[in-house]
Amino acid sequence: MEGRCYCGRSYIMKTSWTDLNPGRRYSICSNFREAGGCSFFSCMDPPVCERSRQIIPGLLRRVNKLENDVTKLEKEVGRRRSTEVKLWLGLAVSWLLMA
């Protein structure tokens, strides 16, 4: 979502994934904190409640770990599949040689 800041530039909506504000959306000016930048900063969501603050960072870490595991498994499956193809080719060649 985009809009205009009072300095005339557009502002961007972002989502914070820090441990203190997991999932909290905020808007900052696209010129934020640059030299002579604008200080426009506004939170869209209310403060993250204590319970979410405890749970969400852990969930995020778990999701990241699972995504890594899936990537590893996909690579492993790819490796095994190519090994299997080589085995079948070898078998076919040996049948041809026997015939």
| Residues making contact with Zn ion (CB under 5 A) | 5, 7, 9, 29, 38, 40
Scored b (16 or more CB within 10 A) or e, 2-24 reads: eeebeeeeebeeeeeeeeebbbb
Nearer of residues 29 and 48 to Zn ion, judged by Cβ: 29
Q: How many residues does the chain have?
A: 99
- Residue 10 CB, nearest distance to Zn ion (Å)? 9
Nearer of residues 9 and 25 to Zn ion, judged by Cβ: 9
- Residue 40 CB, nearest distance to Zn ion (Å)? 4
For residue 52 the two structure tokens come to 């979410």
